[in-house]
Amino acid sequence: MTETPAPAGIWKTPFTIEMANRFGEGTANAHLGIEITEAGPDYLVGRMPVDHRTKQPAGILHGGASVLLAETLASWAGNFVVDATTQSVVGQEINANHLRPGLSGWVTGITRPIHIGKRSQVWETHITDEAGKLVCISRMTLAVIDRPVPRTKG
């Protein structure tokens, strides 16, 4: 299988959609069925099923699952915007407004940066249902941190 690199744009760390999905194996992403599906020059897209894994007891999409999708997309995008050999990102704050229920099928999220700074990033994610109606809008702040320098014995 040939992997297609993300298009040029804001990305500093080279990645492919396939690579991002492989990294999600064995995590909450995979457990909830989250898949990264597309990367553009300044956005990342993913989807999540509305099924027994992601619904609340009332039979609609659980708001926490929507937030997990939003955080997944913003965190991946944030990590791809920095040079992963020297930096990483960690979440500081996330909020979400749930606007209408997800009932079945798939929801799709697209995240775009609002701010990309040296020490912080802010990403906005819009989650829509299969009819293209807005289900949730989320904003996440990430802190950009330096990766620890490996210690040498001596």
Active site residues: 71
How far is C-alpha 153 from the geometric centre of its chain's CA atoms?
Answer: 38
Q: What are phi and psi of 42, to 5 degrees?
A: -145, 25
CA distance 18 to 7: 14
DSSP 29: H
Distant-in-sequence, close-in-space partners of 130: CB < 8 Å, separation ≥ 6: 105, 106, 107
DSSP 61: B
Q: Are 119 and 143 in contact (CB under 8 A)?
A: yes
